Amino acid sequence: MAIIDLRSDTVTRPTRAMREAMLDAPVGDDVYGEDPTVNALQEQLAAELGFQAGLFVPSGTQSNLIGLMAHCERGDEYLVGADAHTYKFEGGGAAVLGSIQPQPIAHQSDGSLAIADLEAAVKPVDPHFARTRLLALENTWHGRALPRQYLQEARAFARRRGLAFHLDGARLFNAATAYGVSAREAAAGFDSVSVCFSKGLGAPVGSVLLGSTALIDRARRWRKVTGGGWRQAGMLAAACIHALDHHVARLADDHARAVRLAEGLSSLRGMTVDAQHTNMVFVRVPVDRLQALDAHLRAADVRVSIGYLPTVRMVTHLDIDDDGIERAVAAFGSFFGSN
């Protein structure tokens, strides 16, 4: 039986149809700007999300990094969530490689960064201080879709203080699905957005950074500098186009399965379901039982994310069907026993 891998939505493997789309893709040298499939992806996504231009890159980490480097200069600063990917899970790249200082801000429980905290963090214009240049948000954040009203308030704040406004939208399409709006509406108001295709959209590789033509021109330079200039990348871009055309609407199925998983686990003894948002479920397990639980689940061919967060995380995706959810619930059930 296949392994039920709920560690992340990055573990999906390209479908047969996606592989066929990749095989047939026309390609060229993308460093010369001559890969027709890469160009088609960049144009399609920019048009769909309402931006002038897009840039296809190997990873979301690189997309965020070169986005920040395109907005900011050495000695600038960006405001970012203390538990945001762009701050905490990207090896400190903006500081290490961009000479851009992060100013981490504590998250509210809904994932937002309080406007008052942001206001207080903007530095005066004075040689003592880094120049506060940008606000970076993340949506979804640990599965949570940020309140839509908050996105407008954050944008108004950024405008008022003259800051660029970047979105780490690795799971933008999950946020849009949760809101019940188009991805374009979920991306509205940002100066730049980074979207991942290697998560719930099910492509093997790739992210796209979106912004103005001028911003993307600067980002293209940084992509090359950071080693991300690639050649016949059209085969990978073809997978992303296939995902845009076939894997967006089905994200609602992932969200429904996460609801079902949370429901199934909620009746078990000795553990608690902390939260379920979009395609993620977080459960709390006594620390002294974590190792045994992990071993038990592995023996049942169920994988979950243990150890990175204070809670156990499970993520639904393209390769998890209804039967997989039931098998995962049963594996937890045979460990904990039900009420």
CA 313 vs. chain centroid, Å, equals: 15
Q: How far is the CB of 240 from ligand PLP (least distance, A)?
A: 13
Distance separating alpha carbons of residues 228 and 27, to the nearest angstrom: 17
Q: Which is nearer to ligand PLP, 30 or 168 (CB)?
A: 168
Determine whether 32 is exposed, middle or buried from the number of CB atoms within 10 Å of its CB (0-12, 13-18, 19+): exposed
Q: Which is nearer to ligand PLP, 60 or 264 (CB)?
A: 60
Q: How far is the CB of 200 from ligand PLP (least distance, A)?
A: 10
Q: How do 164-169 and 131-138 pair as beta strands? A: parallel
Q: How far is the CB of 284 from ligand PLP (least distance, A)?
A: 21
Phi then psi dihedrals of residue 267, to 5 deg = -90, 5
Q: Which is nearer to ligand PLP, 87 or 335 (CB)?
A: 87
Using Cβ positions, the residue closest to ligand PLP within the complex turns out to be 60
Q: How far is the CB of 266 from ligand PLP (least distance, A)?
A: 25
Specify the 3-state DSSP secondary structure of 82.
Answer: coil
Cβ-contact 54, 209 below 8 angstroms: yes
The residues binding ligand PLP (CB under 6 A) are: 59-61, 64, 85, 138, 168, 170, 196, 198-199, 207
Q: Which is nearer to ligand PLP, 37 or 64 (CB)?
A: 64
Q: Which is nearer to ligand PLP, 111 or 324 (CB)?
A: 111
Give the number of other Cβ atoms within 10 Å of residue 159's Cβ: 11
Annotate 196-214 with DSSP letters as a single string. ESSSTT--SS-EEEEE-HH
Q: How far is the CB of 53 from ligand PLP (least distance, A)?
A: 20
